[in-house]
Amino acid sequence: MGRSPLSVLHRTDANGKPVPDVLFEKTFQSLMDEHGYVHLTGLPDDFDPVAFGRRLGPLMPHHDGALVAEVRPAPTADGVYYPGSTKAFAPHTEGYDLLGLPPRYLALWCVHPPAGDGGETTLADTRPWLAGLSEQNRQHLEKTEYDWTNPHGELGIAFRHPLLDEHRGSTVVRFSVNNIVRDDTDPVAALQSAWQRLFDEQHLAISYQRNDMVIWDNWRLLHARTAFADPHRHLRRIHIAEAH
Ligand SMILES: [Fe+2]
């Protein structure tokens, strides 16, 4: 079971009045700086998640060109759901297979929450894990470039990157439990098991109400999801680049 999120920002105050925009954004920024993610709750139907996301940086297209991705199980022509479309995902960062920098932020919001258990977005912060790495280990992760297999199959191309990068003073983490090409004696194999275990122990779980939005720093946090049964679960997703 994941922990409850600590970084939760409600759109209205205790009197039911919207928190003024300037204060809302200030609270958002301080929660993001502290925790690396914010779960927005109490959002009205006229809240504009795309506009909110664009304030953090320019949107990046998904692999099919869409700026806003529909995240829902898609039935085939016979009305059968692909079994993978409701499955759990292992912890990873997004966009390790891109030529350049991965998206700085990811945002998901809920169009239709799943009935029943599961379908949570799960998150964990790598910052304390990085702080605990030996200098030797850290240097290996900064200097050694790996091949990453492509999670989108035939559609894209994977590029070589180290697990730890630096961009204008920020650490950029790239990580996948399954998609790094390495042999079993490589130090990254031990790191993958260690981070999977830490993720299992420490992750928080976002359980969606309608309109809820979660935004996280994809250079810092790992994300995954829990399996679910309800094929009507429907989220939307944007990838936000680092602001220039
Ligand atoms: Fe992902």
Report yes or no on 1 lying in a domain: no
The whole-number pLDDT of residue 1 equals 78
Q: For the chain, what percent of residues have pLDDT higher than 90?
A: 87
Q: How far is the CA of 80 from the centre of ligand 1 (A)?
A: 23
Task: Judge contact between 6 and 206, C-beta under 8 A.
Answer: no
Pairing of strands 59-60, 234-240: antiparallel
Q: How far is the CA of 224 from the centre of ligand 1 (A)?
A: 6
Ligand 1 centroid distance, CA of 216 (Å): 12
Weakly modelled stretches of the chain, pLDDT under 50: 155
Calculate how far, in angstroms, residue 208's C-alpha sits from the geometric centre of ligand 1. Answer: 17
Give dist(CA 239, CA 226) in Å, integer: 20
Residue 36 in domain: yes
Whether 2 is in a domain gets the answer no
The pLDDT value given to residue 227 = 94
pLDDT for the residue 156: 53
How many whole angstroms from 218 Cα to the centroid of ligand 1? 9
Q: Is residue 59 part of a domain?
A: yes
**Domain membership flag for residue 213:** yes
Pairing relation of β-strands 37-41 and 213-217? antiparallel
Q: Report the CATH number at residue 144.
A: 3.60.130.10
Flag whether 152 is in a domain. yes
- Helix, strand, coil share of the chain (percent; to 5): 25, 30, 45
Residue 3: inside a domain, yes or no?
no
Is residue 28 domain-resident?
A: yes
User: How close is the Cα of 14 to the center of ligand 1, in Å?
Assistant: 34
Q: Report whether 124 contacts 202 (CB < 8 A).
A: yes
Q: How far is the CA of 134 from the centre of ligand 1 (A)?
A: 28
Q: What pLDDT is stored for residue 239 in this prediction?
A: 98
> Looking at residue 229, what is its pLDDT?
92
Range of the domain at 63: 8-240
* Residues surrounding ion ligand 1 at CB below 5 Å: 94
**Domain tally for the chain?**
1
Q: How is 66-79 classified by DSSP, letter by letter?
A: -SSEEESPPB-TTS
The encoded tokens of residue 115 equal 């009935």
| Residue 101 near residue 243 (C-beta atoms within 8 A) | no
pLDDT of residue 85: 83
User: Of 168, 179, 170, 169, which Cα lies nearest the Cα of 126?
Assistant: 170
CA dist 182 and 147 (Å) reads 8
